[in-house]
């Protein structure tokens, strides 16, 4: 049996830290904006113009920048309805099937959101007050959905290889699995 390669682990770690760092910085900026807006509104009777729009845009960015990391770690909300009926030796197969379904759903969503992004650019869609083009954010959302789809596909492949005993560890079901 072989284990996961070190270069790919490093690439994954760099990507994870990069996405988490950008999402964290965006969340921090959102916190500062909200604090400044509330302070300005209540103490100086002068709120920040467009703070709600900026908060909405940053919230969408935080969610979609975090999605690939959540998909790779398999930390999304899940219901363990099938855990009791699946024998332990077939858990890898269940995980392959679930990850393939999630991959297909994410890929379809990525395609639809990408089409919305193209349409937003074509129509010149902008936010109401600050006139910020929304096509960039929609395109970011589509890209993060596609990256998430590729990561869940990779997760499915790793579970499959683990089930066939080709790799030593490929998912969370292995002792000391890659999380």
Q: Is 165 left (phi over 0), alpha (psi -120 to 50) or beta?
A: left
Q: Supply the pLDDT for residue 176.
A: 46
Encode pLDDT of 109-144 as tens digits: 999 999 999 999 999 999 999 999 999 999 999 999
pLDDT at 175 over 70: no
pLDDT at 46 over 60: yes
How far is it between the farthest Cα atoms of the chain? Answer: 67
Angstrom distance (rounded) from CA 93 to CA 72: 17
Mean model confidence pLDDT for the chain: 87
Q: Record the pTM.
A: 0.85
Encode pLDDT of 90-115 as tens digits: 888 888 999 999 999 999 999 999 99
Encode pLDDT of 1-18 as tens digits: 444 556 767 777 888 899
Question: Which DSSP category does 88 fall into?
Answer: G
pLDDT at 171 over 60: no
Question: Rounded mean pLDDT of 35-48?
Answer: 93
């Amino acid at each position: 049996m072989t284990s996961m390669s070190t270069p790919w682990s490093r690439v994954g770690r760099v990507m994870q830290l990069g996405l988490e760092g950008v999402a964290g910085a965006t969340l921090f900026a959102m916190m500062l904006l909200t604090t400044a807006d509330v302070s300005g509104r209540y103490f100086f009777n002068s709120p920040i113009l467009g703070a709600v729009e900026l908060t909405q845009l940053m919230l969408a960015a935080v969610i979609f920048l975090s999605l690939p990391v959540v998909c790779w770690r398999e930390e999304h909300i899940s219901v363990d309805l099938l855990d009791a009926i699946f024998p332990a030796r077939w858990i890898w197969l269940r995980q392959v099937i679930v990850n393939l379904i999630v991959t297909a759903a994410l890929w379809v969503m990525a395609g639809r959101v990408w089409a919305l992004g193209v349409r937003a650019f074509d129509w010149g869609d902008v936010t109401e007050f600050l006139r910020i083009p929304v096509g960039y954010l929609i395109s970011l959302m589509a890209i993060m959905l596609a990256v998430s789809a590729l990561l869940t596909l990779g997760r499915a492949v790793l579970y499959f290889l683990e089930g066939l005993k080709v790799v030593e560890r490929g998912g969370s079901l292995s002792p000391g699995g890659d999380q």
